[in-house]
């Protein structure tokens, strides 16, 4: 198990991770640091715990939005079924019209 020291809001934290995941852990720390910097930019600095909590809420909100977008993207399977059913109805109607023309 690897030990990595990350810096968030000027504080150093040593955390463990699987070997080979050090860079990924650093990237995640950078994501948190970006959220903290955006909170500070709007004047939201009021203690380390509060900054970390707000950063966690921002990340959770982004995850929620991504999950909803993924769920919306998964819906076309139902839409595809609806399109197929509509196409079958249109084909049946076209056959009815052709039969009427042949009979008439």
Q: How many CB atoms lie within 10 A of CB 44?
A: 13
Contacts for 52 with CB less than 8 Å, ≥ 6 apart: 8, 9, 32, 36
Domain presence at residue 93: no
The predicted structure's pLDDT at residue 58:
93
Whether the pLDDT of residue 78 is over 90: the answer is no
Domain presence at residue 70: yes
Domain presence at residue 39: yes
Residues of the domain holding 38:
2-77
The predicted structure's pLDDT at residue 75:
72
Domain presence at residue 102: no
Distance CA 57, CA 70 (A): 20
% pLDDT > 70, the chain: 94
Domain presence at residue 91: no
Average pLDDT over residues 76-100: 80
Distance CA 57, CA 50 (A): 10
Domain presence at residue 54: yes
- The whole-chain average pLDDT of the chain stands at 88
Q: Look-up: residue for tokens 């004047």?
A: 43
Summarised one tens digit per residue, pLDDT across range 29-62 is 999 999 999 999 988 667 889 999 999 999 999 9
């Amino acid at each position: 198990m690897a030990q990595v020291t990350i810096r968030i809001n000027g504080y150093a934290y040593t955390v463990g991770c699987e070997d080979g995941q050090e860079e990924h852990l650093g990237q995640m720390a950078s994501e948190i640091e970006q959220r903290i910097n955006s909170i500070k930019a709007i004047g939201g600095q009021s203690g380390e715990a509060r900054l970390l909590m707000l950063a966690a809420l921002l990340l959770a909100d982004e995850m929620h939005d991504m999950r909803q977008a993924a769920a919306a993207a998964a819906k076309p399977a139902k839409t595809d079924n609806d399109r197929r059913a509509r196409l079958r109805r249109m084909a049946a109607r076209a056959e009815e019209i052709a039969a009427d023309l042949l009979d008439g």
